[in-house]
Amino acid sequence: MTEQNLKLGIWMMLLSTFIFAMQDGISRYLAGEYNVYMVIMIRFWFFAAFVVAVAGRKAGGLRAAARTRQPILQAFRALLLVSQICVMVLSFTLLGLIESHAVFACYPLLIAALSGPVLGERVGWRRWTAIGIGFIGVLVILEPGFGVFEPAAIVPLVAALLFTLYGLLTRYASRQDSTATSFFWTGVVGAIGMTLVGMWFWEPMAAPDWAWMALLCVTGASGHYALIKCYEVAEASAVQPFAYLQLVFISVLGVTVFDETIRTNVAIGVGIVVATGLFTLWRERVKA
């Protein structure tokens, strides 16, 4: 990996995190006005069209992209991601962007903790220590036992667990399938699954909000495209730490647009979680 590729990869990661932060802001607005399932369904329709278009331009076309020896695993992965997005968007409407992402930031630690039992990877004492400290950070964010714990805070924690399982199964699927195949199955099966649920919750949408919906779809596709480009030119372990900057973008958006506040315990807890997450990513790179 050249220095030029690393710089491009970092810029692509920063671009994707910024786009995804904007996408979450739009999702929060639309889910506050309309049914969550309908919003995610329309978003996945566009996502499916995007992955089909990408697959059609590659060698072998759609047939090559869809070819897999583990269809049940690929379909389950897609449904996990759909479920995670629904839960996370619901969390935005209950807790707001900042606190939802503050809790969700623990997912790299969950991946590190579960990579042993799920993937058979060895997790050393240093990473277990980092994982333990990271979860202390999550407790600082949640403040259990201090009379201010919100049951709704469990919602982004569930989203983090679902995304962790999705990430681990994606790594497992990559042992036999290409990234293009996993991407194709995620979009197509996700759209089918969401349509089966979302079509029962259809409601009329105001004309201005269709413009926001269109922007939501475009940000979803462009964010994934930037992320794909990022991983094409740079190693994941080298650029992944920059993904934490999404917390910065989310915080700015939450404070300026949605009048959210950053509580002291949330800021301290996020600092602990991010620090241990970065250490875990560094240890993975050292082992690799």
What pTM was estimated for this model as a whole?
A: 0.84
First to last CA, the chain: 14
Give per-residue pLDDT as tens, 239-250.
767 777 788 888
How many Å apart are CA 182 and CA 45, to the nearest integer? 17
Angle, CA of 222, 226 and 230, to the nearest 5°: 170
- Give per-residue pLDDT as tens, 139-165: 777 765 554 457 787 899 899 999 889
Asked if pLDDT for residue 1 goes beyond 70, the answer is: no
pLDDT at 8: 85
- Spell 109-139 as b/e; 16+ CB within 10 A means b: bbbbbbbeebeeeebeeebeebbeebbebbe
107-111, 113-117, 147-151: which has the minimum mean pLDDT?
A: 147-151
pLDDT digits (tens, 9 = 90+) for 194-226: 999 999 999 999 999 999 999 999 998 888 788
pLDDT value, residue 209: 95
**What pLDDT was estimated at residue 144?**
58
Any idea where the domains of the chain sit in the sequence? Answer: 36-208+260-287
For residues 231 and 4, the model is more confident at 231
The whole-number pLDDT of residue 26 equals: 95
pLDDT of residue 238: 67
Tell me the two tokens of residue 118: 């799920």
* CA distance linking residue 284 with residue 224, whole number of Å: 24
* pLDDT(107) > 90: no
Query: Please, which pLDDT band fits residue 123 given cuts at 50, 70 and 90?
Result: low
User: What is the model's pLDDT at position 117?
Assistant: 73
Is the pLDDT at 73 greater than 50? The verdict is yes
